[in-house]
Chain A
Amino acid sequence: MKKNPNRHLMTAMLISTCIAALPALAQDGPIKIGVLEDQSGDFAAATNVKVHAIELATKEINDAGGIDGRTIELVIYDTQSDNRRYQEFMRRVLQQDQVDVVFAGFSSASREAYRPIVNQFDGLAFYNNQYEGGVCDANMIVTGAVPEQQFSTLIPWMMEEYGPNVYTLAADYNFGQISAEWVRQIVDEQGGNMVGEEFIPLGVSQFSQTIQNIQESDADFVVTLLVGAAQASYYEQANSSNVDLPMASSVNVGQGYEHKRFTPPSLAQMHVTTNYIEEIDTPASNDFVERFRAMFPDEPYINQEAANSYIGINLYKQMVERAGSTDHDEIRAVLGEGDVCFDGPSGNVCLDPQSQHMSHTIYLAKVEEDHSISFPEVWENIEPYWLGDAGCDLTQNDPSAQYTPSNPPPAQ
């Protein structure tokens, strides 16, 4: 059978006209928010709660009359801890579901997998995870903490408290590699000494050789940048081999609530810089935990990504209401005014127009022998300054790139 090529052309035209017409028609309908998070697979333990946080924020906003009178409608897909799913579903929410904004991603590998697609369709995505920093992309708004917030506070504190010799254990992908570079640089600046650095492939669960290497080094503390359920087996194994060294991390406790899941004292002496965990004892935090548990009574743990996702929805609401539109350029114009702030569970936070990252109050959480949490130090209101200082200015131009200390933005 021979097909008429013109018919295809006409169908295509018809479809594209419909797509072009849709946003205009949808202006007074609900605001659609795409949610791509790992609800199954290796990362599910840390990310299910993000979806719940978004649902909580949505319910609160809808109950109070929505965004500018428009209700929020969530389009949720389970990305299964699989980078290809992120690409597939990112295309789907942007092309087929025509969402106004997307909340997406846990691992940095998944973010880098979907980011080109957001750029291609000129979408707007919130990344609500702490990460290795450096994403300078106008289509991205990052509410998670970055190295200048987590490491510039943590590493000097640890070196002062325990000593200058540092051993880094990091997951072997972009997050671990770049975070380790940050640690290396800060240790160097502070006059410390890297006694070891080891990268572990994702999915590895047996650490006896690594543990021996750490014991042979003269490390004063170990920086653990391990990711995923398999790698989390390290703590139990290190404890049963009696490694007995203080640990520092930007990912543990605040993400995977290892102190709740493992038998004490395997996580004792762990120090984590986080912008939120449920143990933070402030009226705002306690109130957030109470509202969260009222909606999700069985939630195992409310982590920093949950708080960031909740804050993200509220920031988006504020920007849309101030812009009077869901148009990305108008939203970014509001962001450019530099006073988009929100008083949320983790205190007052503001978006930085240059990098589109967020300021944070950083808490140093220390895990005790019985796995209770103490907070020996709090750093108020740390700006995400590195990208701006290095020369990323999204109000001027949009390189849509990720930079690292060894690969900074090109000089203008």
Chain B
Amino acid sequence: MEFFPASFSIFYQFGNAFAFLVISCAGLAVIFGMMGIINLAHGEFIMCGAYVTASTARAGLPLPLAILCGTLTAALVGMVLERTIIRHLYHRPLDSIIATWGISLIATQAVLILLGPTMSGTGTPLGSMEVGERSYSIYRLALFASAVGLLGGLYLLFYRTRFGVIARATIQRPEMARALGVDTRRVYGLTFGLGAGLAGLAGGLYAPTMTMVPTMGATFIVESFVTVVVGGADIFVGAAPAAAILAVIKAALTAWYGQLFGQIGLLVAVIVVIRVMPGGLSAFIKRWQR
């Protein structure tokens, strides 16, 4: 096999796994990292984004706009839920797990009853390209670019904007932020909305490649939780490198031993990480930096 096609194939498989991990975990990582809430309804926000994206795209909207619609709808739903339910559970992490799990069950069943067991999706755009003897889906490369863009965008948002400064201040020292005149409740609401919106974005981006069913969120859950657990509380020094490392593990094991071992590899990685560095990669890296 030629060198370029072979290395492109490896890059493609890695990029594909990396994109899936980053995109599916971003919303979860923001909500967990910034607010300490473990959002078990994460998959249902993804499903919400995917359903809105698919239905608006089928109604004739161009796909990027449809994805935007899905993202905004999920963000809006997230903010409403934060206002009505999550807000009252900020200092009760276990209760918030139960509450978000309940939301997820209700959402799945409600969609099943209202919209039926399945919905027609939209086809994958952009077609395929040939490298060497194999053909690759161009949309998959676009997903990789989106994952990188997503990390860059979040970095800019949290480290280069006023909202980012206030949000980080609120997370680190809520009392101090309040004393300086920050409306921390509003910041929490916006942050939860951001996390839900990112989940919606994940749904929107993957909607054209997947089957649209009420339980589709569940297929993202394992990967996103694994990434957040391995990464720890910080999305940039945690989730992003965790996604890169896990993508290598998953892509390599899947390539050599098949899908089952790819899955096993991910879970073994989590067990090892929890045992060796309980705070995840981010706590480990931060301690090492000091």
Chain A contact residues, CB within 8 Å of chain B: 40-42, 44-45, 48, 172, 198-201, 203-206, 208-210, 212, 215-216, 229-230, 232-233, 236-237, 239-243, 260-264, 266, 300
Contacts and interface: CB of A to CB of B under 8 A. Distances in A.
Interface of B: 9, 12-13, 16-17, 20, 108-109, 112, 116-124, 126-128, 133-137, 139-140, 208-216, 218-219, 251, 254-255, 258-260, 262-263
27 contacts: A40-B108, A40-B117, A40-B214, A41-B215, A44-B118, A172-B259, A200-B259, A201-B259, A203-B218, A204-B219, A206-B17, A208-B13, A209-B254, A209-B255, A210-B259, A215-B135, A230-B219, A236-B123, A236-B124, A237-B124, A240-B127, A241-B135, A242-B127, A242-B135, A261-B121, A262-B120, A263-B121
A229 B111 CA distance: 15
Contact of B263 (A201, A209, A215, A216): A201
A31 B99 CA distance: 43
B20 A206 contact: yes
A240 to B, nearest CB: 4
Nearest to A46: B117
Nearest to B208: A236
Contacts of A262: 120-121, 123, 211
Contact of A236 (B9, B116, B209, B218): B209
Nearest to B120: A261
B87 to A, nearest CB: 30
B120 A201 contact: no
Contact of A241 (B109, B120, B128, B133): B128
Nearest to B122: A263
Contacts of A41: 215
A233 B117 CA distance: 15
B107 to A, nearest CB: 13
Contact of A237 (B17, B137, B215): B137
A208 B13 CA distance: 7
B117 A199 contact: no
B120 to A, nearest CB: 5
B122 A229 contact: no
B210 A204 contact: no
A168 to B, nearest CB: 13
B134 A233 contact: no
A204 B216 CA distance: 11
Contacts of A263: 120-123
Given A199-B258, A201-B260, A210-B259, A261 B211 contact: yes
A199 B260 contact: yes
B210 A172 contact: no
B211 A198 contact: no
B9 A212 contact: yes
A116 to B, nearest CB: 27
Contacts of A200: 259-260
Question: In this complex, which of B13, B121, B128, B219 has the most chain A Cβ atoms within 10 angstroms of its Cβ?
Answer: B219
A236 B121 contact: yes
Contacts of A206: 16-17, 20
Contacts of A172: 259-260
A230 B260 CA distance: 15
B140 A230 contact: no
A241 to B, nearest CB: 4
Contacts of A215: 133-135
A339 B87 CA distance: 67
A230 B119 CA distance: 13
B209 A237 contact: yes
Question: In this complex, which of A48, A210, A263 has the most chain B Cβ atoms within 10 angstroms of its Cβ?
Answer: A263
A227 to B, nearest CB: 12
A208 B139 CA distance: 12
A260 B255 CA distance: 32
Nearest to A237: B209
Nearest to B119: A261
A251 to B, nearest CB: 14
B211 A230 contact: yes
Nearest to B264: A201
